[in-house]
Amino acid sequence: MSAKSEIEKYLQDHKDDWHFSAQLTRMVFKNSDGTSADPKAISNRLQELQRESHIFVRYEGAKRTSKYRWIPPDWRDRYIPSHTHGVDGQWRKSKESELAQMRSDAAEAVRQFDKGE
């Protein structure tokens, strides 16, 4: 079992709790070769899981401390990972509202470009 799958299983087993990044990086997760994953590798696996919409990330406080939580499989298609928009992870309202927002953003970008901003 890889460190990534161990992290995923741990978060799934504790799905009702938020987990600080520091807490998770201090835990011992094993790589597939049996060695312990270092904190940087654990942090990278957490980012991968978030990009894959397996976990939700929330940032708190002035230092933007990250906290993670498991996302059930039937909710994953509604999650927008934070790396796509630079803030906390968000939930889609609907595909239609998302498309409308994208069109509005594109129209605003064209207006700004035309004005030379």
pLDDT in tens, 3-13: 999 999 999 99
Domains in the chain (CATH in brackets) are 3-115 (1.10.10.10)
% of the chain with per-residue pLDDT over 90: 38
Largest Cα–Cα separation, the chain = 59
Q: Give the Å distances, CA to CA, from 46 to 60, 94, 111.
A: 17, 26, 38
pLDDT band at 94 (very low <50, low <70, confident <90, very high): low
DSSP3 helix / strand / coil % (the chain, rounded to 5): 50, 15, 30
**Residue 86: per-residue pLDDT:** 47
Q: Give the Å distances, CA to CA, from 1 to 4, 60, 81, 113.
A: 8, 31, 25, 50
17: CB partners within 8 A, 6+ apart: 69
Higher pLDDT, 15 or 77: 15
pTM: 0.66
Classify 80 as helix, strand or coil. strand
pLDDT band at 117 (very low <50, low <70, confident <90, very high): low
Instruction: Give per-residue pLDDT as tens, 58-73.
Output: 888 777 788 999 988 8
Of 4, 5, 22, 6, which Cα lies nearest the Cα of 68?
22
